[in-house]
């Protein structure tokens, strides 16, 4: 570490300044992210929920039920962990208000209107939309390799057939998927995110890093996997790579991957870090 780096690190350690974070959505990922941030006494959270929370709230967490109230509370950063609809209807307004947003529901960006609204809002508010790595990783590698102008990326989502019960039944493939892997979809990342809005955030995250035109997405029901698995295969002028993420469910909430909330909290923490 350079002398400059060491100074920056010690300043961070000594930084007792309060960090006020807004959170849209208090479900599986939002709650887990809140727990992680609140473990550091410098953090306080204002959480936007659809209806008033009828439960004992953790210390340093306040709940509101309108975007107006969330913005009026004056958070430094907002985390969106709600839904693609919530992203489209609220994230541009947060960005226009000059607040950086760390967003989980990246699949919302499959809509060109939403993408345009985000870019216009960032320009108006001099703010940034932060795309966390979420359920995957290696986005820095993808963005760097894409600069060579010559890469091809395949992102494959592999889940146990039980995760695709309705889709397999509808396609008449339920029996086959018990014996061997079945490809449910192959195509572009925006189309995948449009068809599977709750499941294909990772595909769009990969495509936004590598380039939409250079990324193919596959959705596979695979009886040999027991956990949600993501694979990223890259071939390019700078070399080849294969990344595989076998995600464990959150210990507190099996509905969400543990890594998603960790990624949201880590993206928030990095915004305050002098070493970017």
Ligand X SMILES: NC(=O)c1ccc[n+]([C@@H]2O[C@H](COP(=O)([O-])OP(=O)(O)OC[C@H]3O[C@@H](n4cnc5c(N)ncnc54)[C@H](O)[C@@H]3O)[C@@H](O)[C@H]2O)c1
Q: Which residues pair with 243 in a beta bridge?
A: 232
Query: Is 238 among the annotated ligand-binding positions?
Result: no
Which residues fall within 8 angstroms of residue 29, CB to CB, at 6 or more apart?
Answer: 81, 104, 256, 260, 261, 264
Closest separation in Å from C-beta 56 to ligand X: 17
Q: Which of 256, 262, 265, 267 binds ligand X (CB under 6 A)?
A: 256
- 126 counts as catalytic: no
Q: Are 185 and 217 in contact (CB under 8 A)?
A: yes
Q: Provide the mask over 37-76, with x wherever binding to ligand X is found by CB under 6 A and - wherever it is not.
A: -----------xxx--------------------------
Q: Judging by beta carbons within 10 Å of its beta carbon (0-12, 13-18, 19+), is residue 260 exposed, middle or buried?
A: buried
CA atoms within 13 A on the CB side of 78: 31
Q: Which of 22, 26, 164, 228 binds ligand X (CB under 6 A)?
A: 26
Q: Are 76 and 17 in contact (CB under 8 A)?
A: no
CA atoms within 13 A on the CB side of 217: 28
Neighbours of 219 (CB within 10 A): 23
Q: Which of 23, 64, 78, 81 binds ligand X (CB under 6 A)?
A: 81
The site for ligand X, by CB under 6 A, has a size of 27
Nearer to ligand X, 28 or 268 (CB): 28
Chain residue whose CB lies nearest ligand X: 27
State yes or no: residue 105 binds ligand X (CB under 6 A): yes
> What residues act catalytically?
230
List of residues contacting ligand X (CB under 6 A):
24-30, 48-50, 81-84, 86, 104-106, 134-135, 198, 201-202, 205, 255-256, 260
């Amino acid at each position: 570490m350079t002398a400059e780096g060491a100074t920056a690190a010690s300043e961070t350690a000594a930084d007792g300044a309060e960090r006020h974070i807004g959170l849209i959505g208090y479900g599986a990922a939002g709650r887990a992210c809140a727990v992680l941030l609140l473990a550091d006494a410098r953090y306080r959270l204002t959480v936007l929920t659809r209806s008033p929370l009828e439960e004992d709230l953790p210390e340093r967490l306040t709940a509101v039920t309108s975007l107006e109230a969330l913005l009026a509370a004056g958070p430094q950063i907002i985390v969106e962990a709600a839904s693609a609809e919530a992203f489209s209807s609220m994230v541009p307004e947060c960005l226009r208000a000059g607040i950086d947003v760390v967003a989980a529901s990246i699949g919302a960006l499959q809509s060109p209107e939403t993408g345009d609204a985000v870019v216009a809002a960032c320009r108006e508010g001099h703010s940034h939309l932060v795309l966390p790595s979420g359920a995957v990783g290696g986005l820095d590698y993808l963005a760097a390799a894409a600069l060579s102008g010559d890469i091809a990326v395949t992102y494959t989502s592999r889940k146990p057939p039980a995760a695709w019960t309705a889709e397999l039944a509808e396609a008449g493939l339920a029996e086959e998927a018990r014996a061997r892997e079945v490809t449910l979809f192959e195509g572009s990342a925006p189309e995948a995110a449009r068809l599977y809005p709750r499941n294909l955030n990772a595909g769009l995250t990969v495509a936004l890093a590598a380039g939409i035109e250079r990324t193919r997405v596959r959705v596979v029901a695979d009886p040999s996997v027991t956990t949600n698995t993501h694979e990223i295969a890259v071939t390019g002028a700078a070399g080849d790579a294969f990344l595989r993420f076998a995600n464990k469910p959150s210990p507190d909430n099996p509905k969400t991957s543990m890594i998603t909330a960790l990624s949201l909290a880590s993206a928030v923490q990095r915004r305050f870090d002098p070493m970017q």
